[in-house]
Amino acid sequence: MPDLSRSQIAVYGAVAAALLLLGARAIRAEGDSGGVSSSYSSDGGGYSSGGGDGFSVDKSGSGGDVVVDVTGAVARPGVYRLPAGARVTDAVERAGGASGGALLEAINLAARLADGQQVVVPKRGPAGAPLATGAAAGEEGPISLGTATVDQLDTIDGIGPVTAQDIIEFRDEHGGLSSVDQLDQVSGIGPATMESLRARLQP
């Protein structure tokens, strides 16, 4: 084997040093790419990755919410979304609270809300009685099943004070009703009465 000259040894040494440097850089790059950090925001903002692409996943979904229409004697009538299990009082508060002249004692503030329900806060009439709703006052629209009082139900054909009270108790026992058809489970309500209820009530 021929002896290597000093110049050849220097060239081989430089090549070896270059290879070692490239190998070290490659190992360092692989370590950096595997160290992506992640964090979870506890304030409801969801999960976010520490990578540079800005990837995020929102885990604050609104599954199970109920949407209700709040009308009558409230500060801001309108349609509102509330969490499942919310009560009539929560809907009234979301609508800005009762306005002057509201007759809150005429409705069950503790009743559980159902999706699609209309909450009607009646206004105080002469001598403190609630103003009529439904057909007795056409401009007010149908009677809300979720907040109907005994006096309001008593105005429906085929419904007397006793049956009206039974309906109120049935509604409260079930935490609110999502459909008028559920009233066929109330004792004393037959097909003809159900037709009258469907015509005058809404969930």
- Taking 70 as the pLDDT cut, the residues of the chain under it are 1-6, 29-63, 125-141, 203
Strand partners, 69: 79, 118
Per-residue CA distances from 36 to 29, 41, 179 (Å): 13, 17, 52
pLDDT attached to residue 100:
85
E-assigned strand segments in 2-91? 38-41, 46-49, 56-57, 66-72, 78-82
pLDDT attached to residue 174:
79
pLDDT attached to residue 79:
93
pTM (2 decimals)? 0.43
Residue entry with tokens 């002249």: 101
Tokens, residue 182: 């559920």
pLDDT attached to residue 75:
92
Cα separation of 168 and 179, whole Å?
Answer: 14
Strand partners, 41: 46
Q: Length of the chain in residues, anyone? A: 203
Per-residue CA distances from 27 to 13, 37, 38, 155, 194 (Å): 22, 19, 23, 84, 78
pLDDT attached to residue 82:
94
